[in-house]
């Protein structure tokens, strides 16, 4: 075609047959790439160390080859002034260098971002934030919560807030797989309160059954297996303690006295060695 149009200069673009050949090569490389990772072909990349380390480089080399073929022939860099090539390669090299730099920065500070995210995730407070007074005790336990492997305290104290129907802590952290002593103060001058510990998610149903069990049972179903620990219904000004031993996990506590349960509850997290 170049010969038929003299003004089309000396740049020799590939012929039709050559373009077909180039397209064919690009197709073949893509098919090879696909077959390499196609599970039905069943290359077990984990079967040997050498294979496991060669998979990604192999794919990158193949795609770099396609990349080079397209810019050399389809984009005519092979037939053009070198300046075009240098301009393009400069941008490509800068992009590559910037990418490596970003990856390097992230790899060097804080290590694995997923661990970082898990360690620094802010727990969803939800209803806990309604307990404005809970802010202080929460701050005390903030350290433990950041790293679940650090065991929580073995001695806890909780109380009601004078005559309002709330606990003075919206969330607690306790040591897992260890005996924990919890002291509950009923600071009210008029109300009766109890303290019932259940697994996270069991609170509503335990409260419901407690209501049905009635006053004679202290608003807790007798021998309820979902109740992991409890302090009996205390009169105004009374204090009592309970000991328990928990597996690591999320728990909830609640006062099951009718209507108190609507506002008087919180989370307890047991942390420590698995």
Partner 1 sequence: MAHNVEPAHSAEHEYTTTGLNHRKLLMWVFLSSDCLFFGALIATYMVYRGQSLVGPYPNQIIDVPITTISTFVLLCSSFSMVQALAATNRNDQRGIQLWLLATAILGAIFIGFQVYEFNLFKNEGLTLGTNLFGATFFTLTGFHGAHVTLGIIWLLGLFFVARKGRLGPKTSLDVEIAGLYWHFVDIVWIVIFTLLYLVAGFDTGPVSSSAG
**Considering only residues 24-63, where is the footprint of partner 1 by CB under 8 A?**
26-27, 30, 33-34, 36-38, 56, 59-60, 62-63
The residue within the footprint of partner 1, chosen from 48, 51, 67, 201 (CB under 8 A), is 67
Distance CA 134, CA 182 (A): 17
Residues belonging to the chain = 274
Residue 110 interacts with partner 1 (CB under 8 A): yes or no: no
Residue 10 interacts with partner 1 (CB under 8 A): yes or no: yes
The residue within the footprint of partner 1, chosen from 47, 48, 51, 95 (CB under 8 A), is 95
Nearer to partner 1, 81 or 129 (CB): 81
Stretches 66-74, 154-162, 202-210, 215-223: which one binds partner 1 (CB under 8 A)?
A: 66-74
Neighbour order of strands in the sheet with 179-185: 164-167, 155-161, 179-185, 239-245
**Is the Cα dihedral 241, 258, 269, 129 positive or negative?**
negative
Half-sphere exposure of 35 (CA within 13 A, CB side): 6
Q: Which of 203, 193, 196 is nearest to 244 (CA)?
A: 196
Task: State the nearest-atom distance from the C-beta of 65 to partner 1, in Å.
Answer: 10
User: Which secondary-structure segment (H or E) carries 103?
Assistant: helix 82-108
Distances (CA, A) of 200 to 41, 205, 267: 46, 11, 8
Q: Tokens for 69, please give them.
A: 């073929």
Residue 117 interacts with partner 1 (CB under 8 A): yes or no: yes
Q: Which of 194, 189, 198 is nearest to 215 (CA)?
A: 194
Task: State the nearest-atom distance from the C-beta of 77 to partner 1, in Å.
Answer: 9
Which residue ranges make up the site for partner 1 (CB under 8 A)? 1-2, 4-5, 7-11, 13-14, 16, 19-20, 22-23, 26-27, 30, 33-34, 36-38, 56, 59-60, 62-63, 66-67, 70-71, 74-76, 79-81, 83-84, 87-88, 90-92, 94-96, 98-100, 102-103, 106, 112-114, 117-118, 121
């Amino acid at each position: 075609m170049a010969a038929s149009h003299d003004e089309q200069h000396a740049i020799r673009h590939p012929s039709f047959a050559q373009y077909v050949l180039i397209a064919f090569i690009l197709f073949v490389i893509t098919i090879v790439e696909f077959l390499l990772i196609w599970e039905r072909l069943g290359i077990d990349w984990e079967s040997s160390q050498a294979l496991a380390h060669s998979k990604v480089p192999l794919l990158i080399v193949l795609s770099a080859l396609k990349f080079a073929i397209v810019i050399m022939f389809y984009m005519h860099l092979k037939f053009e002034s070198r300046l075009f090539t240098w301009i393009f390669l400069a941008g490509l090299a800068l992009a590559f260098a910037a990418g490596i730099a970003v990856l390097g920065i992230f790899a060097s500070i804080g290590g694995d971002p997923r661990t970082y995210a898990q360690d620094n995730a802010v727990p969803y407070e939800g209803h806990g934030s309604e307990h404005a007074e809970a802010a202080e005790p929460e701050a005390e336990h903030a350290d433990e919560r950041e790293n679940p492997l650090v065991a929580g305290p073995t001695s806890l104290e909780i109380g009601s807030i004078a005559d309002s129907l709330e606990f003075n802590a919206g969330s607690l952290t306790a040591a897992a797989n260890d005996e924990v002593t919890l002291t509950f103060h009923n600071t009210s001058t008029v109300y009766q309160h109890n303290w019932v510990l259940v697994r996270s998610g069991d609170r509503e149903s335990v409260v419901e059954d407690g209501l049905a069990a009635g006053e004679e049972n202290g608003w807790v179903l007798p021998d309820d297996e979902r109740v992991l620990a409890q302090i009996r219904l205390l009169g105004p000004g009374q204090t009592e303690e309970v000991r328990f031993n928990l597996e690591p996990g999320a728990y909830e506590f609640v006062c099951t006295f009718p209507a108190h349960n609507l506002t008087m509850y919180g989370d307890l997290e047991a942390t420590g060695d698995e």
